[in-house]
């Protein structure tokens, strides 16, 4: 089974450029419809894929709605501090500076130009869920 996030953008073409420049995504596929703009695209980061789409003229991105509607988490990275600086240089809004988390990850948060929120993390310690206050079923 695979779960793939499908993020909606008012300007998919601009999102493709930004996600590549800021976060290192690679474009895998682009579909430009008869209307002349990108309707659907796919990008890869490592082994994972995210879809991007333009749902039409009635869609409003999180930035226009006044706040985030989803948080996309990207984990198992090698250098979140370096990625944070890359994202900042590309114009990402850094919503959380790189910070060590009690659950054993170093993480930073960013928002893309249309208001989608992202968290990027790297493992820094092997911490049991009970040691940071979480519980597991069973």
pTM for this prediction: 0.86
Options 3.40.50.1000, 3.30.720.120, 3.40.800.10, 1.10.10.10; CATH of 1-56 = 3.30.720.120
Banded pLDDT at 61 (limits 50, 70, 90): confident
Q: Which residues of 69-90 are buried (b: 16+ CB within 10 A; e: fewer)?
A: eeeeebeebeebeebbeebeeb
The pLDDT tens digits for 86-98 are 999 999 999 999 9
Tell me the percentage of the chain whose pLDDT exceeds 70: 99
Banded pLDDT at 57 (limits 50, 70, 90): confident
Nearest CA to 54 out of 104, 13, 12 is that of 12
At residue 1, the pLDDT reads 54
Banded pLDDT at 64 (limits 50, 70, 90): confident
Domain limits, CATH 3.30.720.110, in the chain:
68-138
At residue 59, the pLDDT reads 84
Find the mean pLDDT for residues 31-52.
93
pLDDT at 138 over 80: no
End-to-end CA distance of the chain: 23
Domain limits, CATH 3.30.720.120, in the chain:
1-56
User: In this structure, which topology does domain 68-138 adopt according to CATH?
Assistant: 3.30.720
pLDDT at 62 over 60: yes
């Amino acid at each position: 089974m695979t779960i793939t996030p499908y993020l909606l953008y008012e300007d998919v073409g601009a999102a493709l450029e930004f996600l590549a420049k800021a976060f290192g995504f690679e474009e895998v596929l682009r579909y430009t419809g008869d209307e002349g703009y990108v309707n659907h695209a796919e990008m890869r980061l490592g082994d994972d894929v995210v879809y991007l789409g333009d749902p039409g003229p009635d869609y409003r991105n999180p930035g226009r709605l006044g706040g985030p509607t989803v948080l996309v988490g990207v984990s198992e990275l090698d250098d979140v501090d370096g990625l944070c600086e890359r994202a900042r240089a590309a114009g990402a809004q850094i919503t959380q500076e790189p910070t060590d988390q009690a659950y054993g990850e170093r993480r930073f948060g960013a928002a893309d130009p249309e208001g989608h929120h992202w968290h990027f993390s790297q493992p820094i310690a092997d911490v049991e869920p009970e040691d940071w206050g979480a519980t597991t079923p069973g």
